[in-house]
Amino acid sequence: MDGNASTRLLTPSIGWNRVSGEAADSGLERETLLAASNGSAQKAQRSHAPRLADAIASPQIMERLLRRECARADRGGDELSLLLFRVHEGRGRRGKSAARLARTMLKRARLTDEIGWFTDDYLAALLPGTGADGARAFAEGVNQMIHRRERRPLAIIYTYPRGGAKPANRNAPPRANENTHHAAEIPVASLHDLLVVPMPRWKRAIDVVGTLLLLIAFGPLMLAAALGIRLTSRGPAIFRQLRSGIGGRPFQIYKFRTMVVNAEKRQQELRQFSEQDGPAFKLAGDPRITRIGAILRKTSIDELPQLWNVLKGDMSLVGPRPLPVDEQEACEPWQRHRLQVTPGLTCIWQVKGRSTVTFAEWVRMDVEYIRRRTIFHDLSLLIRTVPAVLLRKGAR
């Protein structure tokens, strides 16, 4: 995982400030409250921090706690909530407001709860074993304790593994309601949205340069494959399908068509014969595959049109393989962690057996990649993919 961008949480695009790389490197620990850009929070630390220093976590610590509690929820089948309060802005009031809100949250917290800074502008309450209703009750308790001296802070609740209603635009997170006065009005969203890891610049650079070189090198082969498909079977040369991308957002993937035109309609009747456990579908000798399609799949030539997905930014050269939307939605909650990064053409699964491993092992390989995502690991996987393709390791 990249040392800067990939170790930070993505925050919703509603005016929230992401924890900056400078803040992450500034040595702030639990003893400090906040490293705000305008200096007012430092004033709050000097005035109000002594009694809060040991109880308020920094954004970096809060992130680690959040990921730890998500892992515990995966193992135990529990749920948790992350309640975010926005610190009121105001001339000469921000420091006192932040300290007052922090103290109030600490008074409401249980021993198992964690209170800390999520970003420069948001205080967070991490509530293990708590659903949306419990988080609303926590928020209402905080509001009742501070409403005589402060106006109610804006709030938003994120729950795990289940979230609130999906927004109409899946690319747009729910917005905190500026007119929220009661806990029942606080919007609820999925915590998975905050666990998404942005793509580092070095990775995007490798994607663009590498994809252009591959398109030049394999352009004639791709034209020949498209012509062969059109001459030997009825239907288009390119197959399009909705797959789950980063954060679960669907995108249209491109592949050379290797099956008959009505293949997707016939998949359900073949589901009982799938040789891949879990929600993914794999079947050796699939009767829907055309003669030329069998050759394209064995040599992985059918994947080459996805270079266009890489150029568009929907995919990366290296990353977890994207599943069809229906298969991804059938995954267990812990298996959604593979959606935290941009999907790719190749990953650990491709070079370690592909169809010869269980689905759980496949996902664990994806999670391993996410934890180890570095430029050297990506280049290593790209190099190791070449012999895996040539030897047709696990290809069907």
Compute CA 96 distance to the chain's CA centroid, rounded to the nearest angstrom: 35
DSSP string over 315-336: -EEESPPPPBHHHHHTS-GGGG
From CA 139, how far away is CA 155, in angstroms rounded? 8
188 DSSP β-pair partners: 157
Percent residues over pLDDT 70 in the chain: 77
To the nearest 10°, the Cα dihedral for 294, 299, 305, 310? 140
Element (H, E) at 84: strand 80-86
The alpha carbon dihedral of 62, 64, 67, 71 has a sign of negative
What's the rounded Cα separation, in Å, for the pair 4 and 202?
11
Which residues lie across from 190 on neighbouring strands? 159
Strand stretches in 224-293, DSSP E: 238-244, 250-256
pLDDT of residue 112: 93
Cis peptide before 167 (omega within 30 of 0): no
Contact 287, 308 (CB under 8 A): no
Look at the alpha carbons of 3, 375, 212, 291 in this order and tell me if their dihedral is positive or negative.
negative
- As beta bridge partners, residue 126 has 82, 114
Region of residue 300 (phi > 0: left; psi between -120 and 50: alpha; otherwise: beta): left
pLDDT of residue 130: 94
Supply the pLDDT for residue 393: 66
pLDDT digits (tens, 9 = 90+) for 357-378: 888 999 999 999 999 999 999 9
310-357 tens-digit pLDDT: 999 999 999 999 999 999 988 888 899 999 999 999 999 888 866 678
Pick the CATH number of 5-195 from 3.30.70.270, 3.40.50.1820, 3.30.70.20, 3.30.420.340: 3.30.70.270
> Cα separation of 179 and 76, whole Å?
37
Q: In whole angstroms, what separates CA 381 from the centre of its chain?
A: 21
> pLDDT tens digit string along 104-159?
999 999 999 999 999 888 999 999 999 999 999 999 999 888 877 677 888 999 99
Can you tell me whether residue 57 is helix, strand or coil?
strand
Domain ranges of the chain: 5-195, 201-390
pLDDT at 57 > cutoff 80: yes
Strand partners, 240: 254
Residue 152 CA, chain-centre distance (Å), reads 31
Phi, psi of 80 (to 5 degrees): -145, 165
Q: State how far the Cα of 218 lies from the Cα of 223, in Å rounded to an integer.
A: 9
Q: What are phi and psi of 151, to 5 degrees?
A: -75, 155
pLDDT tier at 18, thresholds 50, 70, 90 = very low
Q: What are the CA-CA distances from residue 169 to residues 42, 293, 328 (Å)? A: 38, 36, 19
Residue 167 vs residues 14, 81, 170, 176: alpha-carbon distances, Å: 14, 19, 6, 12
- pLDDT-derived band of residue 97, with 50, 70 and 90 as boundaries? confident
Residue with tokens 């927004």: 167
Nearest to 7 by CA among 379, 371, 375: 371
User: Is 34's pLDDT higher than 50?
Assistant: no
Cβ atoms of 250 and 328 within 8 Å: the answer is: no
Q: How confident is the model at residue 272 (pLDDT cuts 50, 70, 90)?
A: confident
CA distance 41 to 55: 17
